[in-house]
A and B are shown apart, each in its own frame.
Chain A
Amino acid sequence: MKELMLIMIAAVLINNVVLSQFMGICAFLGTSKQLKSSVGMGLAVVFVMFFASLVTYPVYKLLERLGAEYLKTVAFILVIALFVQLAEMAIKRFLPPLYKALGVYLPLITTNCAVLGAAITNVDKKYTLAQSLTNSLGTGLGFTLALILFAGVRARIETSDIPETFKGVPATLVAAAIVSLSFMGFGGIV
């Protein structure tokens, strides 16, 4: 149990997928404009990561038995795409406003390297099923945390007086770098 807790904390804070490993930046910058859409996006990623790792675990075991581990990327992408499609359909059905707010970023989870990154980390570190699920859940929550934090930062940027040349993307990128810097403080805790 203690081990699982450590994996969780490491995934959420220390090896935060966006702010420490710099994966999934596209969706991070794209959907963090509003708090609401960032929460929605974060939860969609949690869903996809969790279920994708649930399925990629047996898939990888099977691939290992067939001696075809080298095909893991292809298989993982297939599984991830499946869950992204499912998540997209479900959101379109039950939360149309969120579907509209997320726009193109929702199908882009398919090619979001954070999701594939989580699945491959599970395999590389030879995690058991429970550990894999914990790690994926933690990674997803870390992604959500980063999005929510950054949505707050961006709301502040919107209302503050910044030089004309820095308005928009430059200010956002500088802010992202500073938020990322703050996460370095978690390094070495576990």
Chain B
Amino acid sequence: MNILEPMIFFAVLGLAAGVLLALASKIFYVKTDERIEKISSALPGINCGACGFSGCEGYACAIVNDGAGLDLCKTGGAAALDEISKVMGVEAAGAVPEKAIVRCKGDCNAARTKYTFAGVGSCAAAEIYYGGFKKCTSGCLGLGDCIKVCPHGAISIKDGIAVVNEAKCVGCGLCVRECPNGLITLRKVTNRVDYTCMSTDSAKQTIAACENGCIGCRQCERACPEHAVKVVNNHAEVDHSLCTSCGKCLEKCKRNVISIRN
């Protein structure tokens, strides 16, 4: 088979197309804002869409043309914000990185189930049937709707509940929208103490449903010297503007509901 001639033919064809395009780009040249290009190169370029725009290029255009916020790119984080602020000539406010947190510790050892779910493997589907197969209607169902949307592979299922690998999490917040029980939120990494139960059931119901569920006993509330911990809707919540990460609430909690990280 003759290979040389087609090769030459394609080389000529490609060259001609290239020259034509180069000429056309000169003729049809449009002056674009050079800031858009600079911002585009500062962004990660993975087009995850977590900022709400069509992609990194779209976000760059939105910053320059429509005055969109500079800190919407969670994937790029502080580095991208620095770079963008430099291009736009604004001082960057010290951005604290955020990580996703799953507020449920009701794993297969702790939480009890009320029926066996044999439907489509999705939390949203299971949630439709009587608030999920766990006795606790607020608990993590562990069917991985959050895993499917995570572009960074940071979430995994461990003992039947979703667990975030903080080393991989960039805090883009895509999983937050996905959880049918609203268990995932973004927390600033400086907020070390956090609560991990969202149950709104009464103490009696919670005791029957899960060993790691908050029963609203208020021991933590009393232990906190800063009054940062409050029991709201039958579970403890932490006000991070007051919390000093002293860890006294942890010591009192018998239900493993409050946790502290480094």
Chain A residues with CB under 8 Å of B5's CB are 66, 68
A89 at the interface (CB under 8 A from B): yes
Chain B residues with CB under 8 Å of A96's CB are 30
- Of the candidates B2, B13, B21, B54, the one whose C-beta lies within 8 Å of that of A67 is B2
Chain B residues with CB under 8 Å of A59's CB are 13
- Of the candidates B1, B2, B21, B28, the one whose C-beta lies within 8 Å of that of A93 is B28
- Interface size of A in residues (CB-CB distance below 8 Å): 22
A84 to B181, CA, bound (A): 46
A173 at the interface (CB under 8 A from B): no
A78 at the interface (CB under 8 A from B): yes
| Cross-chain contact B6 with A89 (CB below 8 angstroms) | no
B118 at the interface (CB under 8 A from A): no
- Interface size of B in residues (CB-CB distance below 8 Å): 17
Contact with A along B14-33 (1 / 0, CB 8 A): 10010011001100111000
- Of the candidates A67, A68, A82, the one whose C-beta lies within 8 Å of that of B17 is A82
Contact with B along A61-86 (1 / 0, CB 8 A): 01100111001001100110110011
Give A61 Cβ to nearest chain B Cβ, in Å. 12
| Cross-chain contact A62 with B28 (CB below 8 angstroms) | no
Chain B residues with CB under 8 Å of A90's CB are 24, 28
| Cross-chain contact B21 with A86 (CB below 8 angstroms) | yes
A89 to B2, CA, bound (A): 37
| Cross-chain contact B2 with A79 (CB below 8 angstroms) | no
How many inter-chain residue pairs (CB < 8 Å) link A and B? 47
| Cross-chain contact A89 with B28 (CB below 8 angstroms) | yes
**A66-B2, A92-B28 are known contacts. Are A82 and B9 too (CB-CB below 8 A)?**
no
A152 at the interface (CB under 8 A from B): no
Most buried by B among A62, A82, A104: A82
**A66-B2, A71-B6, A104-B54 are known contacts. Are A93 and B17 too (CB-CB below 8 A)?**
no
Give A178 Cβ to nearest chain B Cβ, in Å. 29
**A82-B20, A104-B54 are known contacts. Are A75 and B10 too (CB-CB below 8 A)?**
yes
Query: Among residues 12 to 70 in chain A, which have CB atoms less than 8 Å away from a CB atom of chain B?
Result: 59, 62-63, 66-68
A140 to B29, CA, bound (A): 27
- Of the candidates A67, A79, A89, the one whose C-beta lies within 8 Å of that of B25 is A89
Chain A residues with CB under 8 Å of B21's CB are 82, 85-86
A187 at the interface (CB under 8 A from B): no
**A75-B13, A78-B13, A92-B28 are known contacts. Are A63 and B54 too (CB-CB below 8 A)?**
no
A34 to B9, CA, bound (A): 42
| Cross-chain contact A63 with B28 (CB below 8 angstroms) | no
Chain B residues with CB under 8 Å of A62's CB are 9
A103 at the interface (CB under 8 A from B): yes
| Cross-chain contact B24 with A68 (CB below 8 angstroms) | no
Chain A residues with CB under 8 Å of B13's CB are 59, 75, 78-79
Give A23 Cβ to nearest chain B Cβ, in Å. 24
Chain A residues with CB under 8 Å of B17's CB are 78-79, 81-82
Chain B residues with CB under 8 Å of A92's CB are 28, 30
| Cross-chain contact B6 with A68 (CB below 8 angstroms) | yes
A-B complex: 7 closest residue pairs judged by Cβ atoms? A89-B28, A93-B28, A68-B6, A82-B17, A66-B5, A89-B24, A86-B24
Known: A78-B13, A103-B54. 10 other contacts (CB 8 A): A62-B9, A66-B5, A66-B9, A68-B5, A68-B6, A71-B6, A79-B17, A82-B17, A85-B24, A89-B28
**23 sample A-B contacts, Cβ–Cβ < 8 Å, listed by A number:** A62-B9, A63-B6, A66-B5, A66-B6, A66-B9, A67-B1, A67-B2, A71-B6, A75-B10, A75-B13, A78-B13, A79-B13, A79-B17, A82-B17, A82-B21, A85-B21, A85-B24, A86-B20, A89-B25, A90-B24, A90-B28, A92-B28, A104-B54
